[in-house]
């Protein structure tokens, strides 16, 4: 949240670039194109005020830049798994690379608000090298409008129960959540432990409760700075890279296409591609996503890791917890809010070291965060 927080409260917001106007199967090239056909809802358009007699101007569309063309996720994950979870009425798209040895550890990665599981593609490839989302309703008549943290945590819990129904035969979990996803997994962890699943640790990426709550009043202004859509996926990727939302072009070319859906009938003054997730419409849940995160993180009965993009100020609870050695904190310089995309190799190193320290601990040595 550090990079997002800094962006929200600084004048640089106004300078952000504007629009130029359960059965597994192998991932095939072009599969991400299918993402465009599944839509949660669109981000409400916010055209500037204009006179009632003024006609909308026709925009001059740019030719797609091939340097920002989409890249398939094939080769980054072993499988894409479509998982039906009747308990919550959802079909989940899960990208999965199983452990290479029996009894290995599975990293459960949860993306942040407005992003998808493909944001962890480059990170996953780095982890696999070191160790040799789309989601839709089952029944269209059901509602997925409730995005409170309690519902999101329940969804994550039930998804894992469906994927791994027998705790005694399930690999150890290492929970890794980015931003809102970190808050979700912090709340999911106690449910898993109570159900006898083994959790080595919880890693939260770039979110601090205090900074997140402080940034909320500025979120609408931050969303105002985003274009309503784009004329091509290449243009969308270029926008994310050029304004440093994602600083790694390779990762952006994999993850950004899944963030958009094609407009049904675009006209001369509308964009061909619109945002898949309506972030502004989730405003009523923003505070619930982060409120109480610090205390719940410190209460997790597993090793704890906080990875930040900058020297973000810790709130009082985390500051005391750090002084008491209740969690490990690492700052990754030269990255933004999307740490796992900006520097997936460094994050893989951090999480592998965290896992080795806590999963294969010798007798008599306490795990990180243990009293």
Cα separation, 103 vs 142, whole angstroms: 38
Q: Is pLDDT above 90 for 44? A: no
At 196, is the pLDDT very low, low, confident or very high (cuts 50, 70, 90)? Answer: very high
Q: For 95, list phi and psi in degrees, rounded to 5.
A: -95, 130
In the annotation, is 337 catalytic?
Answer: yes
Q: Is pLDDT above 90 for 268? A: no
What pLDDT is stored for residue 278 in this prediction?
75
Neighbours of 267 (CB within 10 A): 9
**Structure tokens belonging to residue 94:** 């899960």
At 97, is the pLDDT very low, low, confident or very high (cuts 50, 70, 90)? Answer: confident
Of 114-123, 131-140, 237-246, 361-370, the range with the lowest mean pLDDT is 361-370
Q: Which domains does the chain have, with CATH numbers?
A: 2-39+65-359 (3.40.50.1820)
Q: Is pLDDT above 90 for 303? A: yes
Contact of 288 with 149, CB cutoff 8 Å: yes
Catalytic annotation, pick one of 178, 240, 271, 337: 337
Question: How high is the mean pLDDT of the chain?
Answer: 80
Rounded average pLDDT over 188-206: 96
CA distances from 225 to 32, 98, 139, 239, 288 (A): 27, 39, 35, 12, 24
Of 96-110, 123-137, 257-271, 311-325, the range with the lowest mean pLDDT is 123-137
Contact of 173 with 208, CB cutoff 8 Å: no
At 367, is the pLDDT very low, low, confident or very high (cuts 50, 70, 90)? Answer: low
What pLDDT is stored for residue 277 in this prediction?
83
Catalytic annotation, pick one of 2, 119, 178, 206: 206
Higher pLDDT, 70 or 266: 70
Cα separation, 160 vs 153, whole angstroms: 11
In 3D space, the residue among 106, 109, 17 whose CA is nearest the CA of residue 307 turns out to be 109
Contact of 170 with 197, CB cutoff 8 Å: yes
In the annotation, is 140 catalytic?
Answer: no
What pLDDT is stored for residue 24 in this prediction?
45
Cα separation, 343 vs 47, whole angstroms: 35
Catalytic annotation, pick one of 179, 232, 251, 258: 179
**Structure tokens belonging to residue 355:** 């896992």
Rounded average pLDDT over 11-39: 42
Supply the pTM of this predicted model: 0.76
Could you read off the pLDDT of 344-358 as tens digits, one per residue? 999 999 999 999 889
Q: Is pLDDT above 80 for 31? A: no
145: Cβ–Cβ under 8 A, 6 or more apart, which residues? none
In the annotation, is 240 catalytic?
Answer: no
Q: For 74, list phi and psi in degrees, rounded to 5.
A: -60, 130
Could you read off the pLDDT of 106-116 as tens digits, one per residue? 899 999 888 88
Could you read off the pLDDT of 217-228 as tens digits, one per residue? 999 888 888 898
Neighbours of 220 (CB within 10 A): 13
Could you read off the pLDDT of 72-94 as tens digits, one per residue? 888 888 888 889 998 888 889 89
Cα separation, 210 vs 320, whole angstroms: 14
At 22, is the pLDDT very low, low, confident or very high (cuts 50, 70, 90)? Answer: very low
What pLDDT is stored for residue 57 in this prediction?
59
**Structure tokens belonging to residue 61:** 């569309």
**DSSP strands (E only) in 12-159:** 23-25, 79-85, 90-96, 105-110, 135-137
């Amino acid at each position: 949240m550090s990079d997002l927080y800094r962006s929200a409260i600084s004048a640089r917001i106004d300078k952000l670039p504007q629009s130029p106007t359960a059965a597994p199967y192998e991932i095939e090239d072009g599969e991400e194109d299918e993402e465009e056909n599944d839509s949660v809802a669109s981000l409400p358009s916010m055209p500037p005020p204009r006179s009632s007699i003024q006609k909308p101007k026709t925009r001059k569309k740019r030719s797609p830049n091939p340097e920002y063309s989409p890249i398939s996720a094939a080769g980054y994950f072993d499988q894409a798994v479509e998982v039906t979870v009747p308990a919550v009425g959802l079909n989940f798209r899960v990208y999965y690379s199983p452990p290479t040895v029996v009894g290995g550890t599975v990293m459960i990665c949860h993306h942040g608000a407005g992003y998808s599981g493909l944001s962890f593609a480059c990170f996953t490839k780095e982890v696999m090298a070191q160790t040799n989302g789309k989601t839709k309703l089952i029944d269209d008549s059901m509602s997925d409008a409730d995005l409170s943290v309690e519902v999101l945590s329940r969804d994550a819990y039930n998804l894992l129960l469906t994927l791994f129904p027998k705790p005694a035969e399930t690999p150890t979990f290492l929970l890794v959540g980015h931003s809102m996803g970190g808050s979700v997994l912090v709340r999911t962890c106690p449910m898993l432990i109570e159900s006898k699943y083994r959790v080595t640790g919880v890693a939260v990426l770039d979110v601090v409760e205090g900074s997140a709550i402080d940034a909320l009043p500025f979120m609408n202004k931050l969303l105002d700075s985003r274009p309503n859509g784009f004329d091509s996926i290449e243009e969308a990727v270029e926008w994310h890279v050029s304004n440093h939302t994602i600083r790694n072009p390779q990762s952006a070319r994999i993850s950004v296409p899944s963030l958009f859906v094609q407009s049904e009938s675009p006209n001369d003054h509308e964009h061909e591609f619109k945002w898949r997730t309506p972030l502004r419409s989730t405003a009523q849940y923003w505070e619930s996503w982060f409120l109480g995160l610090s205390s719940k993180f410190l209460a997790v009965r597993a090793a704890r890791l906080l990875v930040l993009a900058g020297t973000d100020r810790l709130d009082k609870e985390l500051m005391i917890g750090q002084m008491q050695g209740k969690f490990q904190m690492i700052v990754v310089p030269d990255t933004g809010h999307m740490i796992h995309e900006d520097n997936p190799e460094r994050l893989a190193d951090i999480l592998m070291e965290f896992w080795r320290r806590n999963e294969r601990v010798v007798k008599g040595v306490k795990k990180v965060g243990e009293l």
